[in-house]
Amino acid sequence: AKIHNHEFLVEATPVKRLCKTHNSITVNGQYPGPTLEINNGDTLVVKVTNKARYNVTIHWHGVRQMRTGWADGPEFVTQCPIRPGGSYTYRFTVDGQEGTLWWHAHSSWLRATVYGALIIRPREGEPFSFPKPNHESTILLGEWWDKNPIDVVRESQRTGAAPNMSDAYTINGQPGDLYKCSTKGTTVVPIHSGETNLVRVINAALNQPLFFTIANHKLTVVSADASYLKPFTTSVLMLGPGQTTDVLLTANQPPSRYYIAARAYQSAQNAPFDNTTTTAILQYNNNSIKNKPIMPPLPAYNDTNTVTKFSRSFFSPRKVEVPAEIDENLFFTIGLGLNNCPKNLRNRRCQGPVNRTRFTASMNNVSFTLPNNISILQAHYNRIPGVFTTDFPAKPPVKFDYTGNVSRSLWQPIPGTKAYKLKFGSRVQIVLQDTSIVTPENHPIHLHGYDFYIIAEGFGNFDPKKDTAKFNLIDPPQRNTVAVPANGWAVIRFVADNPGAWIMHCHLDAHIGWGLATILLVEDGVGKLQSIEPPPLDLPLC
């Protein structure tokens, strides 16, 4: 196994999109940021230096971080932010994961421009689980704002309103030629007749689940979130923010130019959304072919049937070790809310007029609030009291018809910094239940420090009596982010074998700020190999 050393310089860089030049925060002047390529078993050492005027941290989305939670990155969860002028070296080993992950800033909305791919190939000399592709390409889906994204989120924190929508979706940082002033930069993906490309698709958008397709070509899905799948063929993918999907694409069509396209799957029912399309060009053989690219059909913004069919095609390639018995049977509601800014919460999340109604969100009616002068992991490790409590409820405080017409009295969650404590090695099941408070929504729920099995999903209220019969304990897919259906539920299982403080949150950035998160605090087991490593000496303090 190799050790890869990288330096990330975070700084403001002029970037021109949609006819205007902006000073965007980037890594090493690149937008999207550098692609990291490693083999399973390798170690990454990334020194991040912050030359921007904002705090920053970097999260390695989907990396298990076995006992190295100090390198996970979410601000005020596993570290204090790297202040302007500061630096921090993330050091971790990727073990037992193959496929596509990514990295992104985990501080305010910096990840709008601070993100990149993390490619993990099999161990040196070992094959992929599918026939070796001739080439590989990476597609990062994103969102672009004409305004500084940090100002966009700050404005919404001030007013309590939903943040402004982005001005374009992007493929590898480029809106593509259907947007103004964007023809020149449109991403071109080369392919050769008869050959097969492995295409790694990452949804790095802040707030938008996206459909993805390529004109006239079938896509064979082979892995998601760096876990292999039983291959299946489809013409369209849906990725929630945070999710990755790897597909095999064979050049079996007449040599031509074909559009690669992505467009919104409307996550919140009856909410405004942007229905524009981002494009790249699949270019056969050489650049002499110059026809107008062929446009693929895309599902309608509300085509939930396609989404359901797609997610129900996911299976592990073989029998997997899902815990058959469980020690922790948890039920978390996930949903929005409306709150007045309480007098005792005059912080970043709650500015402006005290009595104006503002958006909020919660799990089990707790709207998660980050500490602001220490990280949760530091407080846990050093046994510093008063930073968080461990009374996050295993079940919602009141049972109600979650997907029905919910009484207005249940729309106001209570802010808190609460964790749920798990014993080392405990076998955990979590039912994630969407609520229709304000509006039902497809929430991409991401758990740090773990992969989990998605053993079932469905619509309406989860019913333990009849829905347990649907559990797949044989070959369910393994992921780190589950798109919980709007007006529905998903059930996940995992073994709590990684000690640390792990945030579980909705990967729609607007919802993190509103409190759609909690902390799973996994205690140390017995001995060194079941305990979190000591913190690095350069861990940023507040």
Nearer to ligand C2O, 17 or 448 (CB): 448
Q: Name 115's Cβ contacts closer than 8 Å, sequence gap at least 6.
A: 32, 33, 102, 103, 104, 105, 140, 142, 204
In the bound state, the residue with its beta carbon closest to ligand C2O is: 61
Nearer to ligand C2O, 296 or 513 (CB): 513
**Cβ 505 to ligand C2O, closest distance in Å?**
6
Q: How long a stretch of residues is the chain?
A: 542
What is the DSSP secondary-structure string of 354-380?
A: TTSEEEEEEETTEEE---SSS-HHHHH
Distance of CA 541 to the CA centre of its chain: 26
Could you list the residues that contact ligand C2O (CB under 6 A)? Answer: 59, 61, 74, 104, 106, 242, 446, 448, 503, 505, 507
In the complex with ligand C2O, the residue whose CB is nearer, 106 or 358, is 106
Question: How far, in Å, CA of 2 to CA of 60, rounded?
Answer: 18
**58 or 422: CB nearest ligand C2O:** 58
**CB neighbours of 399 closer than 8 A, spacing ≥ 6?**
none
**301 Cβ contact list (under 8 Å, min separation 6):** 263, 264, 265, 266, 273, 275
DSSP string spanning 222-258?
A: EEETTEEEEEEEESEEEE-TT-EEEEEEE--S-SSEE
| Other C-beta atoms lying within 10 Å of the C-beta of residue 461 | 18
Contact call for residues 236 and 211 (beta carbons, < 8 A):
yes
Contact 518, 422 (CB under 8 A): no
Helix (H, G, I), strand (E, B) or coil at 537: coil
Instruction: Name the minimum Å distance from CB 252 to ligand C2O.
Output: 35
Q: Taking the complex as a whole, how short is the minimal distance between the CB of residue 31 and ligand C2O, in angstroms?
A: 18
List, in sequence order, every beta strand (DSSP E) within 130-206.
135-144, 168-171, 188-191, 196-203
Give kind and range of the element (H or E) at residue 310: helix 304-311
Q: Which residues pair with 48 in a beta bridge?
A: 8, 88
In whole angstroms, how close is the CB of 143 to ligand C2O at the nearest point?
Answer: 14
Q: Given the complex with ligand C2O, which of 101 and 191 has the nearer CB atom? A: 101
Picking from 174, 172, 297, the residue whose alpha carbon sits closest to that of residue 236 is: 297
Q: Which is nearer to ligand C2O, 77 or 236 (CB)?
A: 77
Please say which residue, 64 or 106, places its beta carbon nearer to ligand C2O. 106
Report the residue number, 52 or 503, with the smaller CB distance to ligand C2O.
503
Min CB(59)–ligand C2O separation in Å: 5
Nearer to ligand C2O, 507 or 511 (CB): 507
Least distance in angstroms from the C-beta of 512 to ligand C2O? 7
CB of 410 to ligand C2O, least distance (A): 27
Give whichever of 263 and 448 is closer to ligand C2O, judged by the CB atom.
448
Shortest separation between residue 62's beta carbon and ligand C2O, angstroms: 8
- Select 493 or 507, whichever has its Cβ closest to ligand C2O: 507
Minimum Å distance from CB 116 to ligand C2O? 12
CA 516, distance to chain mean position in Å, is 13
- The distance of closest approach from Cβ of residue 522 to ligand C2O in the complex, given in angstroms and rounded to an integer, is 16
> What are the strands of the beta sheet with 168-171, ordered from one edge?
168-171, 135-144, 196-203, 244-250, 219-224, 227-234
Q: Which is nearer to ligand C2O, 149 or 242 (CB)?
A: 242
Nearest in space to 40 (alpha carbons), one of 120, 114, 132: 120
Least Å distance, CB 447 to ligand C2O, is 9
Question: Tell me, what amino acid is at 534?
Answer: P
How is residue 523 annotated by DSSP?
A: P
Please state the closest distance from residue 106 (CB atom) to ligand C2O, in A: 6
